[in-house]
Amino acid sequence: MVMNNKHGIYAERSMIEENRALIAKNYAAAFMGNRQEANTNTDEIFKNRKAILDGFPADTPVKANFNNSMANEAKVDFLEHRSGLNTRVEAVSEEMSKINAMLIEVNHHIMENNAGIVAFNAKNIETNNKLLDGTLAAGDATPESNAARVKSNTERIAKIKGVAEANKGKIAALLEKVNANRVEILKNTDAIYARRAEIGANRAKMLGNAKKISDKLRAG
C-alpha cells in the first residue's frame, strides 16, 4: 500500500509540474505573444487612421472640422482603450505578485522537506557507521532490547499503514483536480492560438488599409 501511494505521489507530482509548465507556456503565449502583437496592430491601425484623415480635403470649415474631430475622436478612443488596458494589466500584475508569493512559500516548504531528508540521511549514515565500527553490534543485544525493537517496529508500521490509507484518498482526489486542471489548461491553449489567428487576420486587414493609403498617396 505504501508503495502504491509512492507511485501515485510521483504521478501526481509529475502531472502538476507538467501543468505548471503548460500554464507558464500559455502565459507567455498570451501575455508576451498575443498581447504584444495585438498592441502593435492597435498602434498601426491608428497610424493608418491619421494618414487617412491627413489625406482628406479640408477646403471648407465643415470638412476641416470633420477631419479634426475625427482625429481627436481617434486619440480619445486610443487613450480610453489604453487606459482600460493598463488597468487590466495592473490587475494581472497584482495577481501574479500574489502567485509569486505563494510559490515562494511553496519553495520554503520544499526546502524544509529537503532539510528533513538530509537530517534523516545523516542519522542513518551514523547508524551505518556504528554498525561498521562495532559500536552497535549483535553481541550487545539482549532479548529485552530485541523485543522492544520488534514492538516499536510493529507499532510504527501500523501508524504508517494508517497514514498511507488516508493519503491514498487524498492522492486520488488531488489527481482528479490535476486532470481537471489539464483540461482547462488545454482549452486555454486552444483559445490563445485561436486568438492569435484573429490577431493575424486583423493585421492582414490593417496592412491592406496601409497599402490602400500608400497607393492613394502615390496616385496623388
C-alpha cell at 95: 495577481
Average pLDDT, the chain: 93
113 dihedral zone (left: phi>0; alpha: psi -120 to 50; beta): alpha
Q: Report pLDDT for 62.
A: 97
C-alpha cell at 200: 493575424
Q: Is the pLDDT of residue 6 over 80?
A: no
Total domains present in the chain? 1
DSSP H helices in 28-142: 35-54, 61-133
Q: Is the pLDDT of residue 2 over 80?
A: no
Amino acid at 130: K
Exposed e or buried b per residue across 28-49, where buried means at least 16 C-beta atoms within 10 angstroms of its C-beta: ebbeebbbebbeebbebbbebb
C-alpha cell at 103: 510559490
Q: Is the pLDDT of residue 4 over 60?
A: no
Q: Report pLDDT for 3.
A: 45
Q: Exposed, middle or buried by CB within 10 Å (0-12, 13-18, 19+), for 184?
A: exposed
Amino acid at 159: K
**Which residues, other chains included, contact 199 with Cβ-Cβ below 8 Å and sequence gap of 6+?**
34, 37, 38, 41
| Mean predicted confidence (pLDDT) in 61-85 | 97
Question: pLDDT per residue over 200-215, tens digit each?
Answer: 999 999 999 999 999 9
Confidence of residue 144 (pLDDT cuts 50, 70, 90): very high
Q: Give the helix/strand (H/E) hosting 33.
A: none
- Could you count the other beta carbons within 10 Å of the beta carbon of residue 161? 12
Provide the domain limits for residue 179.
Answer: 2-219
Q: Exposed, middle or buried by CB within 10 Å (0-12, 13-18, 19+), for 58?
A: middle
Question: pLDDT per residue over 107-116, tens digit each?
Answer: 999 999 999 9
Q: Is the pLDDT of residue 195 over 50?
A: yes
Q: Report pLDDT for 5.
A: 64
Confidence of residue 129 (pLDDT cuts 50, 70, 90): very high
